[in-house]
């Protein structure tokens, strides 16, 4: 009897979850009573550069992992050959869940969440590097990610959705030879086995040395099962023109689609029919079908949001200032991509990832928001005072970043040399990008360990957090010291890359294995040198700015930190301070 009651209770609990998934909690944003989920995503920024829009002809994309509490560790997965009839186990891997180091590292612990399902294995799986997601494989197929949300009714958190986003990118990395190949592989697997569980609407920038695509994928609702004989995922992809750049700041980017032009568009078979079925689109209306307005609408702009949704405007304004995009432009009305006013280098991309709206009305370092030392990092999220919520600027570069990747793929070099994953740990403004050639066979051990809640000098990430922490105290002063270090270890490395390429290519022509060994040694030794330099930089900042003073190591003199006059005036006004009496 007790078992029967427990079964009934469990049944109603599952039913309630499904109903909440289907209809959402609030019902005001859309006429279909169907919320966007999540309603205000603030996660990751992806910048995309086509090969003819870049200075050197490389294709580039970024991913800022903007979580603030997620796993930051990386892994290298070697290539493998498999016997015919082998299977590949499918695991659920949450983007957000971590474990204390004493219980195990994420990339071992996730195997505890086996779905119970195996899919047919391919004969050869590619080598690749991954962090939160798969980022680049041995064929120079690369990925960048941004959460875009989807209508609440489409969420599928049930076990019928076997494949979540992390697993999907791993499968793409394991199997793809080109960007188009990766999209078709990920799309078909998601359709067959069901997409969702941990994830909703997501965007992936999928690139190879020839081209780059924006691929967006969503679940199809909690009632889907493999037996329904319908796709278990909804997806659409659009190619970025080779001479264009684009961006995804947690908002759907694909508008009107033309499936009669497969060189620029791909989609699941249910792309329009599911919209009609759910009442999101009426083909008799005469209105053209727009993917983003149908499945992930968002009526906001840089101005309307008080800067919290200004990344779209800021990127296009920086890339193509001649177009005079207004911050009043609704984000949904921005073009899919633009031709930049000038071609973009990898250093330009690094600078873009660090942008904090300097010189605009949304600059978080200006005035009281930035304090006396113009710190743009005090209020990266909305603030709540006396029951009211106030938006604050959400910049491209954000201090809660776990890491940032720039994938650079180049068609004039063999794959092991052509692909570079530039990796920066922690906040972009105080970190340093380190190149990892895709031909390497190992990554530094310090990239593979670390946790938010336990300081660890063996973890690379903590070296960059160490610098970041000591920069915040006197930001406008300390950031200049950081920029000098970035110039030394980052800009000069970019200048050295052509020489490294040439040496590796010469070795590759004689013996590919020697080239791989050379690239592995270079990538690892350079990364270790940067990490050591950042530990030293953190020590130097602590010594230099302790006690809100400036200790000059060369002159061995100490001076007080200079405060700006405007801030001193505000302090005097606020506290009603009185000047000293002048001596007679």
Residue 115: CB atoms within 10 Å: 17
DSSP 500-524: HHHHHHHHHHH-HHHHHHHHHHHHH
Q: Domain locations in the chain?
A: 429-560
Do 321 and 238 meet the contact criterion of CB atoms below 8 Å apart? no
Burial of 517 (0-12, 13-18, 19+ CB in 10 A): middle
Using omega within 30 degrees of 0 as the cis cutoff, is the peptide bond preceding 371 cis? no
Query: CA 290, 248, 98, 447: dihedral to nearest 10 degrees?
Result: 150
Do 132 and 65 meet the contact criterion of CB atoms below 8 Å apart? yes
Three-state DSSP at 10 gives helix
In angstroms, the first-to-last Cα distance of the chain is 96
- Residue 584: the pLDDT is 75
How far is CA 485 from each of CA 221, 478, 481, 496, rounded to the nearest angstrom? 49, 11, 7, 16
Do 507 and 515 meet the contact criterion of CB atoms below 8 Å apart? yes
Do 553 and 544 meet the contact criterion of CB atoms below 8 Å apart? yes
Copy the structure tokens of residue 541: 């900042």
- Residue 38: the pLDDT is 58
H/E segment holding residue 6: helix 2-23
Instruction: Give the separation between CA 421 and CA 408, rounded to whole angstroms.
Output: 6
Instruction: Give the separation between CA 396 and CA 217, rounded to whole angstroms.
Output: 23
H/E segment holding residue 388: strand 388-390
Sign of the alpha-carbon dihedral angle for 60, 233, 197, 148: positive
DSSP 176-215: -SSHHHHHHHHHHHHHHH-B-TT--SEEEEEE-SS-EEEE
Q: Please state the φ and ψ torsions of residue 556, each to the nearest 5 degrees.
A: 55, 40
DSSP 218-272: E---TT--GGG-S-S-EEEEEEEPTT-EEEESSS----B--TT-TTTEEE-TTTT
Q: Read off the DSSP letter of residue 301.
A: B
Q: Read off the DSSP letter of residue 81.
A: E
Counting DSSP H helices and E strands in the chain, the numbers are 15, 24
Instruction: Give the separation between CA 18 and CA 156, rounded to whole angstroms.
Output: 8
How many residues make up the chain in this entry? Answer: 584
- Residue 381: the pLDDT is 86
H/E segment holding residue 87: strand 87-91
- Residue 21: the pLDDT is 40
Query: CA 499, 500, 501, 506: dihedral to nearest 10 degrees?
Result: 90
Do 434 and 422 meet the contact criterion of CB atoms below 8 Å apart? yes
Do 195 and 215 meet the contact criterion of CB atoms below 8 Å apart? no
- Residue 35: the pLDDT is 62
Q: Model-level pTM greater than 0.85? A: yes
| Residue that the structure tokens 């670390």 belong to | 450
pLDDT of the chain, 584 residues: tens digit per residue: 444 444 334 433 433 333 334 333 322 233 344 766 655 556 899 999 999 999 999 999 999 999 889 999 999 999 999 999 999 999 999 999 999 999 999 999 999 999 999 999 999 999 999 999 999 999 999 999 999 999 999 999 999 999 999 999 999 999 999 999 999 999 999 999 999 999 999 999 999 999 999 999 999 999 999 999 999 999 999 999 999 999 999 999 999 999 999 999 999 999 999 999 999 999 999 999 999 999 999 889 999 999 999 999 999 999 999 999 999 999 999 999 999 999 999 999 999 999 999 999 999 999 999 999 999 999 888 899 999 999 999 999 999 999 999 999 999 999 999 999 999 999 999 999 999 999 999 999 999 999 999 999 999 999 999 999 999 999 999 999 999 999 999 999 999 999 999 999 999 999 999 999 999 999 999 999 999 999 999 999 999 999 999 999 999 999 999 999 999 999 999 999 999 988 87
Measure the CA angle with vertex 133, ends 129 and 138; round to 5°: 30
Do 379 and 472 meet the contact criterion of CB atoms below 8 Å apart? no
């Amino acid at each position: 009897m007790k078992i029967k009651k427990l079964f009934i209770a469990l049944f109603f609990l599952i039913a309630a979850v499904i109903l909440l998934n289907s209809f959402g909690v609030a019902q005001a944003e859309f006429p279909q009573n169907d919320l966007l989920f999540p309603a205000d995503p603030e996660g990751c920024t992806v910048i995309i550069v086509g090969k003819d829009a870049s200075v050197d002809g490389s294709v580039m994309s970024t991913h800022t992992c903007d979580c603030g509490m997620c796993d930051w560790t990386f892994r290298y997965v070697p290539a493998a050959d498999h016997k015919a009839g082998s299977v590949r186990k499918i695991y659920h891997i949450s983007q957000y869940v971590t474990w204390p180091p004493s219980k195990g590292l994420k990339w071992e612990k996730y195997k505890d969440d086996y779905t119970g399902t195996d899919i047919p294995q391919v004969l050869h799986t590619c080598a690749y590097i991954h962090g939160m997601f798969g980022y680049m494989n041995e064929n120079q197929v690369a990925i960048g990610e941004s959460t875009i949300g989807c209508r609440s009714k489409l969420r599928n958190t049930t076990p019928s959705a076997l494949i979540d986003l992390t697993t999907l990118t791993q499968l793409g990395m394991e199997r793809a030879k080109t960007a188009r190949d990766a999209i078709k592989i990920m799309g078909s697997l998601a359709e067959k086995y069901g997409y969702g569980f941990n994830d909703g609407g997501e965007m992936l920038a999928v690139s190879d040395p020839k081209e780059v695509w924006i691929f967006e994928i969503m679940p199809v609702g909690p009632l889907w099962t493999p037996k329904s004989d319908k796709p278990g995922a909804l997806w659409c992809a659009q190619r970025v023109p080779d001479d264009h750049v684009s961006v995804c700041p947690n908002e759907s980017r694909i508008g009107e689609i033309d499936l009669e032009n497969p060189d620029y568009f791909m989609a699941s078979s249910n792309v329009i029919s599911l919209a009609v079925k759910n009442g999101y689109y009426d083909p008799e209306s005469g209105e053209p079908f727009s993917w983003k307005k149908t499945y992930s609408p968002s009526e906001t702009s840089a101005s309307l949001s008080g800067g919290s949704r200004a990344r779209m405007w800021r990127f296009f304004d920086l890339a193509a200032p001649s177009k005079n995009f207004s911050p009043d432009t609704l984000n949904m009305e921005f073009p899919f991509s633009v031709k930049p006013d000038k071609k973009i280098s990898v250093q330009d991309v690094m600078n873009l990832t660090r942008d904090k709206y300097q010189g605009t009305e949304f600059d978080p370092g200006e005035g009281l928001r930035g304090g006396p030392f113009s710190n743009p990092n005090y209020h990266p999220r909305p603030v709540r005072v006396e029951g009211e919520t106030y938006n604050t600027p959400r910049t491209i570069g954000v201090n809660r970043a776990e890491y940032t990747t720039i994938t650079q793929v180049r068609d004039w070099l063999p794959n092991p040399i052509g692909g570079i994953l530039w990796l920066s740990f922690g906040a972009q403004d105080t970190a340093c990008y380190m190149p990892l050639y895709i031909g390497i066979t190992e990554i530094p051990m310090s990239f593979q360990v670390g946790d938010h809640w336990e300081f660890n000098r063996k973890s690379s990430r903590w070296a960059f957090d160490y610098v970041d922490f000591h920069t915040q105290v006197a930001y406008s002063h300390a950031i200049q010291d950081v920029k000098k270090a970035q110039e030394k270890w980052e800009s000069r490395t970019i200048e050295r890359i052509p020489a490294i390429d040439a040496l590796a290519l010469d070795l590759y022509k004689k013996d590919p294995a020697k080239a791989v060994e050379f690239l592995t040694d270079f990538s690892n030794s350079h990364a270790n040198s940067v990490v050591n330099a950042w530990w030293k930089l953190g020590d130097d900042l602590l010594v230099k700015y302790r006690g809100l003073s400036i200790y000059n190591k060369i002159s061995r003199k100490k001076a007080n930190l200079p405060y700006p006059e405007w801030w001193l005036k505000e302090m005097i006004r606020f506290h009603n301070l009185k000047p000293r009496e002048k001596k007679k």
